[in-house]
Homo-oligomer: A and B are copies of this chain.
Amino acid sequence: MEQRLSMITLGVADLDASRHFYETLGWTRAGEEPGIVFFQLNGLVLGLYPRDALAEDAKLDPAGTGFGGIALAYNARSRSDVDAVLTEAARAGATILKPAEDVFWGGYSGYFADPDGHPWEVAWNPFWEITPEGYVRLGNQ
């Protein structure tokens, strides 16, 4: 697993209200995607996504104490690398929350939890560029 982070997703109660907040701070969203908001940051992406849907994606109880409303994401460089990273994380003591599977947006993704339960998505997203240095660049930026 390379030493990098691709995205942090904040679970939100009201997507429009949250988007409006960050836009009021002067931020510009990256393109228009239904049901999710992306902001291109310095080499990674901030996502806003409904909190219940985020918990469901990670197979966590949205009301449980184990879910803090945030998920980290590591974008692998290939589909097979997703399985390799999940295996490596499990060997290091992580809990596998969801084995990797094909997902509706066209990628391949699973989740592990670190020793404190912080959820990490491990994903292959064929639509996002990862530079050799590990920076994520959204295609429309």
Taking Cβ atoms with an 8 Å cutoff, the residues of A that contact B are 1-5, 8, 10-14, 17-18, 21-22, 24-28, 39-44, 46, 51, 67-70, 72, 88-89, 91-94, 114-118, 133-136
Contact = CB atoms under 8 A, between A and B. Distances in A.
B116 A42 contact: no
- Looking at chain A's contact residues, is the secondary structure mostly helix, strand, loop, or mixed? loop
Within the oligomer, what is the number of copies of this chain?
Answer: 2
A42 B4 contact: yes
Given A42-B135, A70-B68, A114-B10, A3 B21 contact: no
Nearest to A12: B116
A3 B28 contact: yes
Nearest to A25: B1
Contact of A115 (B17, B28, B93): B17
